Structure 1
Amino acid sequence: MHITTLAKLILTGALAVSAPLSAAEVFTWKNHSGTNTYSDVPRNLKPAQSGRVNVRTRSVTPAVPTQPAVAENQSLADQQKQLSEEIARQNKQVEAQNQKIEAENRRQQEANCQTARINRQFAESARVNNRADLIARYDADIAKFCN
């Protein structure tokens, strides 16, 4: 079947128009009579008053991520102290993860060193034409992993 140039243009135009429409956000909220209202713009243009609908799963999530509650009566110094404690807690978690990664890297380095030494021993007893090349290669691996 032969598709003409005009049909190709129409198809391309339809795809170009439909792509942005399918990617639009859908907002929902309950109106004054208690029924659900759906729109492509949030209620009163304020996302905090609406929920965002995932059309595929039909689940509703807040349109604006919730912020941690800050007590009205908390002084600025108390708020700063609370934020500093939160940052310190996060830094401790990152430090613990870094220590685990360093320990795993050390174990991997030791395993690579052991493998390079075993390969070097094998190369010395191997009866192949390129034994000198293998020995040089495994010596380089030992220098790389065992220092």
Structure 2
Amino acid sequence: MHITRTVYTAALLCLLPAQFAAAQIYTWKGKNGSTSYSDVPHNLKISNASTINVRTRTVTPPPAAQTAESAGEGSLADQQKQLNDAVSRENKKIEEQNKKIEEQNRLQKEDNCKTARLNRQFAETARVANRDEFIKRYDADIGKFCN
């Protein structure tokens, strides 16, 4: 029965539309001897599956396991884990930087609030013609920085 399925699958691969012809197709033998086809390598390891070129109908054998290990490639799942770890480390750094910036902004806002209150006190005791304008301005600054 698996021979029929294999022939059917091979025929299906030959009839693929042109848009799928450029995609990589992997093939491997299962434990029961059946041939499997997929767009994802067996167990997400390229070294476990042959690659089929649909246009030329040629099969490229899997790369040697020693070559993949020596190049530090490993499985796709391992590579994805490494990428996820790198992104996680980078996100942690960014979060720490954001916390530092938030703290700096908070301290700056406190300083601005103190300055606005001092300016308001000075404006109340000032003897200038536009004292009311200064008081309005410093009240606005107090509302902006102290709330």
What TM-score results when the alignment is normalised by the length of structure 2?
0.51
Deviations 1:55-91 (A, max 9, x none): xxxxxxxxxxxxxx9613x111111001100000000
Q: Which residue of 2 aligns with 1:71?
A: 72
Count of residues in Structure 1 that have an aligned counterpart in Structure 2: 78
Find the aligned partners of 1:137 and 1:129 in 2 and give their Cα distance.
15
Give the letter aligned to residue 109 of structure 1: K
Find the aligned partners of 2:92 and 2:125 in 1 and give their Cα distance.
50
Q: 1:134 to 1:82 in 2, by over 3 A?
A: same
Find the aligned partners of 1:144 and 1:100 in 2 and give their Cα distance.
22
Residue aligned with 2:99, SS: helix
Identity of aligned residues (%): 64
Q: Which residue of 1 aligns with 2:132?
A: 132
Q: Report 1 or 2 for greater relative contact order, CA contacts < 8 Å, sequence distance ≥ 6.
A: 2
Q: Name stretches of at least 5 consecutive residues in structure 2 with no aligned partner.
A: 1-69
Q: Which residue of 1 aligns with 2:83?
A: 83
Q: Name stretches of at least 5 consecutive residues in structure 1 with no aligned partner.
A: 1-68
Give the letter aligned to residue 71 of structure 1: G
The residue correspondences of 1:50-129 to structure 2 (distance < 5 A) are 71-72=72-73, 74-129=74-129
Give the letter aligned to residue 123 of structure 1: A
Q: 1:120 to 1:104 in 2, by over 3 A?
A: same
Q: 1:70 to 1:129 in 2, by over 3 A?
A: farther
Find the aligned partners of 1:82 and 1:90 in 2 and give their Cα distance.
12
Residue aligned with 2:118, SS: helix
Give the letter aligned to residue 135 of structure 1: I
Find the aligned partners of 1:97 and 1:139 in 2 and give their Cα distance.
33
Give the letter aligned to residue 119 of structure 2: N
Q: Which residue of 1 aligns with 2:59?
A: none
What TM-score results when the alignment is normalised by the length of structure 1?
0.51
Give the letter aligned to residue 122 of structure 1: F
Give the letter aligned to residue 143 of structure 1: G
Higher Cα Rg, which structure: 2
Deviations 1:25-51 (A, max 9, x none): xxxxxxxxxxxxxxxxxxxxxxxxxxx
What stretches of structure 1 move > 6 A for 4+ residues in a row?
none
Find the aligned partners of 2:100 and 2:71 in 1 and give their Cα distance.
34
Q: CA RMSD in A?
A: 1.4
